[in-house]
Amino acid sequence: GTVQAVTRSPLSCWFSPSRPFFQAKVSPIGRVDKRKSLNPSRDTITRQLTAAGISQFGYEVMPCSRCEKRGASCKMLEGNPKCDLCTRLGRPCDVTGTPLSSLSRIIDEAKRLDDQEAAVEALLSSRRENLKRAQRELDESLSQLESCRKRKRLLVSRGVELTKKGVNTLEELERVDQQESLLSEDIHSMVHTDLLDFSFLGVSSVPFDVDGSSSGGV
């Protein structure tokens, strides 16, 4: 018979099933990878379902480091310590669990408190200036009151002094008037005709009136 030549590729020998290289590199690893992709474990299924539930029913929170790095939204569900992404990947999660709605309320409240603080500071500054002005007016009023009281004390002292002098002067005048009255009475008594005898002068009556005028009889 005729012998036919068989032409083979130079690389065909490397992919022969009988070669240890093919068996070691392809068959074992291929079987493991294929089994894993077609038959995921119960833990993987549970993890994926949990992640889907968190993504569907959870609430958005402050992103964990992994979600922040990927720029992904971070969701959590009450009672689950991980976010949806970290749950799906089966990785640790450092999420804080602070809902974005709560953070938004906190931010709004912080802004409101900032505005309120500024308003209170402005009101306090205004009242401080009013208090300073009122204190100056109070000091001025107290100074005026003290000056008025001082002048009043001086005036009272002067009045007492003048009153004392006036009383002394009045008493002196009364004494002088009394002395003049007594002297006048003495003069009247001395020139009275019943008390003095002018016969030795050769007259029979008082030669002058009490006031000093001549009576005209000699």
Higher pLDDT, 171 or 64: 64
Q: What amino acid is encoded at 177 in this protein? A: D
Average pLDDT of the residues in 83-96: 91
pLDDT of residue 187: 66
Q: Which helix (H) or strand (E) holds 190?
A: helix 100-191
Per the CB < 8 A criterion, the answer to whether 99 and 112 are in contact is: no
Residue 177: what pLDDT? Answer: 76
Q: Residue 43's Cα: distance from chain center in Å? A: 59
Higher per-residue confidence, 26 vs 126: 126
Q: What is the pLDDT of residues 99-120, one digit of tens each?
A: 777 777 888 888 999 999 999 9
Residue 122 CA from chain centroid, whole number = 9
pLDDT score for 184? 72
Chain position carrying tokens 């009889």? 217
133-149 confidence digits (pLDDT tens):
999 999 999 999 899 88
N- to C-terminal Cα separation, the chain: 230
Q: What confidence tier does 204 reach under pLDDT thresholds 50, 70, 90? A: low
Supply the pLDDT for residue 12. Answer: 44
pLDDT single digits (tens) 160-200 = 887 777 767 767 777 777 777 777 776 666 655 554 555 55
Residues across the chain: 218
CA–CA separation, 12 and 23 (whole Å): 14
Nearby residues of 196 by Cβ (< 8 Å), 6 or more positions away: 190, 206
Give per-residue pLDDT as tens, 1-56.
Answer: 444 444 444 434 433 444 443 343 444 444 444 455 567 788 888 889 988 998 89
pLDDT at residue 115, rounded to an integer: 94
Which has the closest alpha carbon to 187: 212, 157, 156, 155? Answer: 212
Kind plus residue range of the DSSP H or E element containing 182: helix 100-191
What is the predicted pLDDT for the residue at 11? 38
